[in-house]
Amino acid sequence: MNLKEQIAKLRKKLEVMQEKRDEINDKALGETRTLTEDEAKQYDETVGEIKGLKSELKRLEELLAEREAEEAEAKAAEAANAKAVEGDTEEKAKKSREGKQPRVEVAKEDKGVGFAKFARILVTSKMNHVNPIDVAKAQYPDDQRIQNVAKAAVAAGTTSNASWTGNLVGDESAVFADFVEFLRPQTILGRFGSGGVPSLRTVPFRVPLIGQTSGGDGYWVGEGKAKPLTKFDFTRTTLEPLKVANIAVLSEEVLMYSSPAADVLIRDQLAQALAARLDVDFIDPAKAAVSGVSPASITNGLTPITASGTGTADDVRADLRGLYQNFIAANNTPSSAVLIMNGTTALALSLMVNALGQPEFPSVAMSGGTLNGVPVIVSEHIPTDSTGSIVVMANAGDIYLGDEGGVMVDMSREASLEMDNAPTHDSDTPTGSSLVSLWQTNSVAMRAERFINWKLRRASAVAYLTGVNWGA
């Protein structure tokens, strides 16, 4: 019997003894009594045997691992003469002869910076018509990870790749996932499901979703009487992948200047524009759906609740009751409720004190927290007018979210852009502001796109206040 067979036999015996131990214990528990003297003795003997089996099993497993390591090392040594030696240093060559992969040193850096580095590598290589691998080695000689990702972006034997954008989302996607993780906390959507905030109901794109909008009733029925029918109401909806995009324009000098500050600038420009668009369109009551283009906000079409009084602590509590009442009236318990407000409103709440100087709402701060036990998400993109701000209460589980999770990036330095956040140059007869040539101004445009969509599961999923001046 070899080591593997011995280990398998011991594991099977260990399972039998563990079952025997549990059987003794479960029998006494089922009869709501303690172990008898014989049972206790048998239990202790079984536990002792289990300990012995575990000790023997550990010894054999360590011995097996040691022998397998020796065999692997011997095979690597035999293959050393037939294996090509790689590496530009003696240390790397030695590891190659031994069949070991060179260790990739990954320096710690802020989230999303790796993505900005790679985007700049591709842009620079395209501007100068050189291999991205050469650009990566020149600009980031000590960052082996970025060099490896640059290698993955170029097909063997070529210096360019027709599927330019596709390479930004693939198997070598650690730096791109890192950028998404950097972007998520900057958006209202990204804060759901983290830091104690309930998650939205994540669903796939283009899959029919069936939701029940009203409950059925049961009835008492007398002998020989007809039974009333029970009526159910359902809705059928599908989330289509919709695209949110932004274009950041940078000077060629910024892209060519290899400094950490430039990398952070690129990262922030791409992230901030996407975050702003997502936040505004997710929460602004004025944002209606545009078929095939963008979803309606979660507050669009709802009847707002006017905030109470002048914003005292009692008014705040009255406003919260008003929000809750909206859910109660619809028989929809807000078990995953989340409050969404701007940072100024959250700050005002945190500064409110009672007659003794104690905080009225000690768990809320300008960065979030909780208000009367409800998680708070803050955003600088909450609509505000002369009457005050809005505060939204959303039942997170009643909001569908479709998110493919990636970001696609492309670039151009030859295009002409309409420098406007409401461009009109998408038709054959453009009007409006004049175009600016990227080539003429030594500029580069970087475009980031993300596929995402959301929809209310039922109309009572959200309620919101208007004219909020808490703490005023």
Give residue-wise pLDDT tens across range 142-170. 777 777 766 655 544 444 444 444 444 44
Predicted local distance difference test score (pLDDT) of residue 296: 95
Q: How many CA atoms lie within 13 Å of 15's alpha carbon, on the beta-carbon side?
A: 6
Do the Cβ atoms of 276 and 381 come closer than 8 Å? yes
pLDDT tens digits for range 188-207: 888 898 888 999 988 888 87
In a domain, 204, yes or no: no
Same domain, 158 and 248: no
Whether residues 9 and 125 share a domain: the answer is no
Cβ-proximal residues to 136 (8 Å cutoff; 6+ apart), any chain? 121, 143, 146, 147, 149, 150
Give me the residue label for tokens 């080539």. 439
The answer to whether residue 208 scores a pLDDT higher than 60 is: yes
Residues 340 and 440 in one domain: yes
pLDDT higher than threshold 60 for residue 74:
yes
Residues 161 and 310 both lie in one domain? no
Calculate the alpha carbon distances from 344 to 350, 367, 389, 435, 471 in Å: 10, 10, 9, 38, 10
- Asked whether residue 59 is assigned to any structural domain, the reply reads yes
The DSSP H or E segment spanning 184 is none
Domain boundary among 20, 44, 72: 72
Residues 117, 24 share a domain: no
Closest CA to 288 of 299, 273, 303: 299
- Give the pLDDT confidence score for residue 352 in this predicted structure: 95
CA angle at 446 for the pair 378 and 274, rounded to the nearest 5° = 15
pLDDT band, residue 72 (cuts 50/70/90)? confident
89 in any annotated domain? no
* Residue 197 counted as domain residue: no
Both 32 and 154 in a single domain? Answer: no
Confidence band of 60 (pLDDT split at 50, 70, 90): confident
Q: Are 59 and 128 contained in the same domain?
A: no
Residue pair 339/345 in contact (Cβ under 8 Å)? The answer is no
* Whether 463 and 315 share a structural domain: yes
pLDDT value of residue 96: 58
What per-residue confidence (pLDDT) applies to 176? 53
Same domain as 126, residue 62? no
With a cut of 80, say whether residue 183 has pLDDT above it: no
- Amino acid (1-letter code) at residue 443: S
Q: Would residue 20 count as lying in a domain?
A: yes
Q: Which domain holds residue 380?
A: 242-418+435-468
291 within domain boundaries? yes
Lowest mean pLDDT across 38-42, 152-156, 353-357, 450-454: 152-156
Q: Are 416 and 440 in contact (CB under 8 A)?
A: no
Same domain, 257 and 367: yes
The per-residue pLDDT for 143 is: 76
Report how far residue 163's alpha carbon sits from residue 155's, in angstroms, rounded to the nearest whole number: 10
**Among candidate residues 72, 101, 122, the one where a domain is terminated:** 72
Q: How confident is the model at residue 82 (pLDDT cuts 50, 70, 90)?
A: very low
Confidence of residue 83 (pLDDT cuts 50, 70, 90): very low
pLDDT at residue 244, rounded to an integer: 81
Residue 461 identity? A
